[in-house]
Amino acid sequence: MDELLYQVDSHLLDQWHGSKIIKARPPYADPECKGHPTGSFLKELKSRQTYYPYGELATLTEAGIEFDQSNRPLYPERIPAKEVYGRGSLGKWGPNHAADPIAVRPVRIWFKTKHYAMVIQRKEGPWALPGGMVDPGESFTETAAREIREEAVDAPDGVIESLIENGVCLYRGVNWTDPRNTLNAWMETCVVLFLVPSKLASRMRLRPCAGETLQSRWVNLEESNLDKLYSDHSTYIRMAMVTLGISQRCRGQGLVFLDDEVNRRTFTLVQLLMVFLTWLFHYYGYYGMVNIYLECNNPNNVSMSE
């Protein structure tokens, strides 16, 4: 049982709080090896693939990733946001691969076509793209489709996979501002943009995943403050907007969601009738309205002016 737990060495402690970062090793994680990879594991580690620096898969050795005196891979180019040694909350030394799909749908609301991207909110943290870690032996398409289904939406079988396969790859590389990055482990991602047809989007039911996400919604791309999104996700969505020719018309203070906009712009029949009567009253005045009423109900068509 003890071998299933992380040893609490200095590189597993949060430098600011001195607390354990991870208590139990997830199934996909590397062996602990007390923070000093050696032997066959070190050889396998150096042969792992990274998208750094050109967006094409290469081994850590081929990519020029340096290793420190303890045989731990070093974060490329720059210092991460948190100067934490070891893996932190990540499972693997060096690159940890993820998939970040961007699903965009056009919606026409009151004579205007706007564009919305699918986002999720997990238990802790800001809104984010519905992505996740690539499981061993899993392709990007499989990961992206699985994460969307698990975290965000119900859709017919095979539909999400087909949309992703026909999408556009926007970025492959290091997720530079991910707060999980450490000096010896970092997030890398593959970002693919795909469009969801309006008819299909109307049949897709967004729903949170119990235990993982609190909400899943469509966020307005033109009118939202995209900087409120998690990590580099705002950068990826801006890449998608450039690809689709979408410009940001109004940058608000926060995020604008589709369901809120629809609720604000949906009128009941009574509300529409009140709007129409208000317009008539404003246009014809009080006596004009009375005349209209009398003309509609008086067979002799006698108005008040007579």
Q: Which residues contact 17 (CB under 8 A, 6 or more apart)?
A: none
- The lowest-confidence range among 26-30, 111-115, 139-143, 271-275 is 271-275
Place of tokens 């061993």: 136
> Which one is predicted more confidently, 179 or 290?
179
Q: How many angstroms separate the first and last alpha carbons of the chain?
A: 100
- The two tokens of residue 231 are 């990590």
CB 59 within 8 A of CB 82: no
The model's confidence at residue 15, banded by pLDDT at 50, 70 and 90, is very low
Buried b (16+ CB within 10 A) or exposed e, 6-20: beeeebbbeeeeeee
> Which one is predicted more confidently, 305 or 36?
36
Q: Which residues contact 16 (CB under 8 A, 6 or more apart)?
A: none
Average pLDDT over residues 134-155: 83
CB 87 within 8 A of CB 94: no
- The two tokens of residue 24 are 């139990």
Q: Can you give the pTM of this predicted structure?
A: 0.78
Q: What is the pLDDT of residues 218-273, one digit of tens each?
A: 999 999 999 999 999 999 999 999 999 999 876 677 999 998 776 665 555 666 77
Does residue 293 surpass a pLDDT of 70? no
In order, the DSSP letters of 162-205 are HHHHTSEEEEEEE-TT-TT--SSEEEEEEEEEEE--HHHHHH-E
Q: Which residues contact 83 (CB under 8 A, 6 or more apart)?
A: 15, 183
Average pLDDT over residues 10-22: 43
Topology (CATH) of 2-265: Nucleoside Triphosphate Pyrophosphohydrolase (3.90.79)
Helices (H) then strands (E): counts for the chain: 7, 11
Helix, strand, coil tally for the chain in percent (to 5): 30, 25, 45
CB 198 within 8 A of CB 113: no
For Cα atoms 137, 141, 145, give the angle at the middle one, nearest 5 degrees. 110
- The lowest-confidence range among 47-51, 83-87, 111-115, 263-267 is 263-267
| Domain spans of the chain, in order of start | 2-265, 267-306
